Each structure stands twice: as structure tokens, then as C-alpha cells.
Amino acid sequence: MVVHVRESIIVCGHTHIQFDHMVAGKSLANAGSVGLPSVARGARWALIGPEIELRETVYDFERAAADILALQTRLDWRRWCSDLARGF
């Protein structure tokens, strides 16, 4: 499947796991996650230009969860904020 893609960089997502691998001569990258830092202590993202630069911006996710929770009443947001505050 990858060999039929013309572009040299393929960006995927959904796993929340940051990586950059070479597959069939192509760069296969996942930027990571800004709002669900599973193993990171901050927002993981990618800067894509001629090269792929995987980056992480540390932020106070417990404070972010508290601020979001203070503005929300939906139960699904409460669950998400709880996971964020635990560093899920």
C-alpha cells in the first residue's frame, strides 16, 4: 500500500503515539497528541518541512483539565478531564 503513494511523507494519526519511521523509502509519521498525552508530559506535535521534527511542549495538564472542567458540565468532558489530569 505505501509503495503506491507518490508523496515522500505520509502522516497518520489516532494512536496518540509520536513516531517517524522509514517504510518502503517513505517517511511515515504520527505527530502524537496535544490533548491526550499518553506517555508525554506535554503536547506532542510535529513540524513538517523538508524534514520532520518531532516536538513536545510541556504544559500544566492538571491545570488545563481543571480549567476545562470548570467550564463544562457534560459527563464525557468530565471523564476526559479526569484522564487528562492523571496524565492518561
Q: Which has more confidence, 43 or 22?
A: 22
Residue 17: is its pLDDT beyond 80?
Answer: yes
* Cα→Cα distances 20→41, 42, 59, Å: 19, 18, 23
* Coil/strand/helix, residue 67: helix
Residue 69: is its pLDDT beyond 80?
Answer: no
Q: Phi and psi for 14 in degrees, rounded to 5?
A: 85, -25
Q: Which has more confidence, 50 or 40?
A: 50
Beta-bridged to residue 48, according to DSSP, are 52
* Angle between helical axes of 61-71 and 75-85 (0-180°, round to 10): 170
How far apart are the C-alpha atoms of 5 and 34, rounded to whole Å? 27
pLDDT tens digits, residue range 50-67? Answer: 889 999 998 887 787 788
Q: Domain coordinates of the chain in residue numbers?
A: 2-85
